[in-house]
Amino acid sequence: MGLIVQKFGGSSVADAERVMNVARIVTDTYKQGNDVVVVVSAQGDTTDDLIEKANEINPKAAKREMDQLLAAGEQISISLLAMAIESLGYPVISLLGWQAGFNTNSIYGSARIKNIKPNRLQAEIAKRNIVVVAGFQGINRYDDLTTLGRGGSDTSAVAIAAALKADKCQIFTDVEGVYTADPRKVENAKKLKEITYDEMLELATLGAQVLNNRSVEMAKKYGVELEVLSSLNPIPGTIVKEVAKMEKMLIRGVTKDKDVALVSILNLQDTPGIAFKIFSKLSSKNINVDIILQSFGRDGTKDIVFTVSKDNGPVAVELLEGMLDDCKIVCNTEVAKVSIVGAGMESHPGTASKMFEALYESNINIQMISTSEIKISVIIDAESADRAVAAVHKAFIPND
């Protein structure tokens, strides 16, 4: 018995039958004597549909209005789930983000949680209510609604678990846990029993959508142990924690991220301070740069190539064209980043070459490489990305 936070993603509450299924999971947990706080996302593709509706009217709509719109998706889910729980005969109350005390900064569309005022949550729990909270949203200092960025409900759940010092935080989704690759794309992907926060953070950041990376960052910071599990199949999932048992695997997973643009600045004057000028300009406009490659200077010129998110590609080109002359700037959005992640690779020198060999054998050209202690990423042609993931996965994860 204890306090349990359970989060259900969009597919887990997609229709009436799924909402009733969630209501049963929640009430079963409550019946065992636990206090339960439930965090839900918008139903199915609701968030995408709302974005599409906005785009039909004004593709450049103010971000404040976008948040006002998108927050509606989660409002629908909490009330429907509360009705479902009520129909099973249990005491329940639904709360929007602001009612649950979520205070955020004012970066509409990707707001950060500043704090959670837990009074209302605690009061409802004390009344033995099951509390259903809208994920993905909060309120800023101007009393305006904000949203936390795509996939943000995971972060809402972890934040509540941290604020209330919950005994458990369970992230229910449409797969049975965290796998060595997206199980919907890679046939032989294996479910992991355990994974460390650091490895999960890399996987999430590099494209494994199953957990939002900010949620993992927050779970690590506050020591919230997470379980990722299926809302449709009641079997144990994957535990995300500080120290995880290795399962005789050199790597934990392979990911793909197609949200990449490759910007090349060619024949740039090779003068001191030029890299500083370029990247400080980009950072002043909040453009996050990922991988950077600079060529050796020749004949007084050099090339600098870097990656940014897809929508920032053209923005970066426009900015740089305004400040650099005598060079050529091109942006390629038909690229993808494929990565391997695992703490084990630190002590295994052959890891990178094994990855490159797998790509070579599949005739896939590597355009850029970036490494850290626990990951190796390559930039390749977008159209080869799925093949690359399959080939690299096959090279590292034994088939059984």
Binding site for ligand ASP (CB under 6 A): 9-10, 41-42, 47, 73, 135-136, 150-153
Q: Identify the residue among 253, 287, 317, 342 touching ligand ADP (CB under 6 A).
A: 253
Span interacting with Mg ion, options 147-155, 158-166, 182-190, 301-309, rule CB under 5 A: 147-155
Span interacting with ligand ADP, options 75-83, 114-122, 172-180, 309-317, rule CB under 6 A: 172-180
Q: Which is nearer to ligand ASP, 155 or 384 (CB)?
A: 155
Q: Identify the residue among 31, 127, 184, 285 touching ligand ADP (CB under 6 A).
A: 184
Eight-class DSSP state of 179: B
Tell the residue number behind the tokens 């790597």, with chain if given: 251
Burial code (b: 16+ CB inside 10 Å, e: under 16) for 162-182 equals: bbbebebbbbbbbbbbbbbbb
Q: Which is nearer to ligand ADP, 133 or 331 (CB)?
A: 133
CB of 151 to Mg ion, least distance (A): 4
Q: Which is nearer to Mg ion, 21 or 155 (CB)?
A: 155
Tell the residue number behind the tokens 């004949």, with chain if given: 299
Q: Identify the residue among 97, 138, 151, 313 touching ligand ADP (CB under 6 A).
A: 151
List of residues 6+ apart from 300 with CB closer than 8 A: 269, 270
Burial code (b: 16+ CB inside 10 Å, e: under 16) for 142-157 equals: eebbbbbbebbbbbbb
Q: Which is nearer to ligand ASP, 137 or 351 (CB)?
A: 137
Give the β-pairing of 261-269 and 328-332: antiparallel
Phi and psi at 148, nearest 5°, equal: -95, 5
Phi and psi at 230, nearest 5°, equal: -85, 140
Residue type present at position 224: V
Which candidate, 32, 136, 138, places its Cα nearest to that of 90?
32
HSE at residue 304, side-chain half, CA atoms within 13 A, is: 18
CB of 331 to ligand ADP, least distance (A): 27
Eight-class DSSP state of 11: G
Residue 312: name its binding partner from Mg ion, ligand ADP, ligand ASP, none (Cβ under 5 to 8 Å by kind): none
Span interacting with ligand ADP, options 19-27, 115-123, 171-179, 288-296, rule CB under 6 A: 171-179
Give the β-pairing of 92-95 and 130-134: parallel
Site for ligand ADP in 4-33 (CB under 6 A): 9-12
Q: Identify the residue among 30, 102, 179, 396 touching ligand ADP (CB under 6 A).
A: 179
151 binds Mg ion (CB under 5 A): yes
Residue 73: name its binding partner from ligand ADP, ligand ASP, Mg ion, none (Cβ under 5 to 8 Å by kind): ligand ASP
Judge contact between 262 and 335, C-beta under 8 A: yes
Q: Which is nearer to ligand ADP, 260 or 320 (CB)?
A: 260
CB of 172 to ligand ADP, least distance (A): 7
Q: By Cβ distance, which residue is nearest to ligand ADP?
A: 9
149 binds ligand ADP (CB under 6 A): no
Which candidate, 177, 204, 202, 201, places its Cα nearest to that of 191?
177
CB of 325 to Mg ion, least distance (A): 44
Q: Could you give the strand order of the β-sheet that contains 145-147, starting from the edge strand earlier in sequence?
A: 113-116, 102-104, 137-139, 145-147
Q: Which is nearer to Mg ion, 9 or 138 (CB)?
A: 9
9 binds Mg ion (CB under 5 A): yes
Cα 281 from Cα 288, distance rounded (Å) = 11
CB of 173 to ligand ADP, least distance (A): 3
Residue 183: name its binding partner from ligand ADP, ligand ASP, Mg ion, none (Cβ under 5 to 8 Å by kind): ligand ADP
Q: Give residues in contact with ligand ADP (CB under 6 A).
A: 9-12, 41, 151, 173-175, 178-179, 181-184, 208-210, 253
